[in-house]
Amino acid sequence: MLTAGNGNARLAPMVGLDVPVRPQRGQLIVTERIAPFLHYPITTIRQTDEGSVMLGDSQEEAGFDTTVATGVTSVLADRAIRMFPRLGALNIVRTWAALRVMTKDGFPIYEQSESCPGAFVATCHSGVTLAANHALTVAPCIARGELPAELFQTFSARRFHVPAAA
């Protein structure tokens, strides 16, 4: 099972698979805890059960650079404060940048090698969001040794090798 994130682009050909992924940097800000006020997550802001507020949605083509860029975090913070002015009084606890595993279309790749039986790849940028699917659908199929085409054909990397329409 290849689960090397962006490293799958280099590892996959060794077992007859194609995994065209690239890193995409995203940055996050976490505030100190505050009494609950945001009971539903929105795209760019969510409050944890413990009370801290997470801000972020940057999508940067920065290669493998995980540097936190203050220009980007400033934009994230400014937008959040305009949406929820109370955030302006909070202290920032931490910031970080991480790399997403991105395909050209943003969707996962689930594939089984035809030339190396038992070799599989499961790669995506939203592993937390898709955790239930990975645990309840993908993992049992891999444990049985097969990714049925009727379930997984849409997520094959072959979708990136379709000739352009005339």
How far are the Cα atoms of 5, 104, 106, 157, 158 from residue 166, in angstroms, in the given order? 34, 21, 25, 22, 19
**18 near 104, Cβ under 8 Å?**
no
Tell me the pLDDT tens digit for each residue of 69-80.
889 999 999 999
What is the pLDDT at residue 165?
64
Q: What residue spans in the chain does CATH classification 3.30.9.10 cover?
A: 23-102
Residues 6+ apart with CB under 8 A from 86: 34, 37
| pTM score above 0.85 | no
Tell me the pLDDT tens digit for each residue of 38-64.
998 888 899 999 999 999 989 999 999
- Domain 23-102, second-level architecture: 2-Layer Sandwich (3.30)
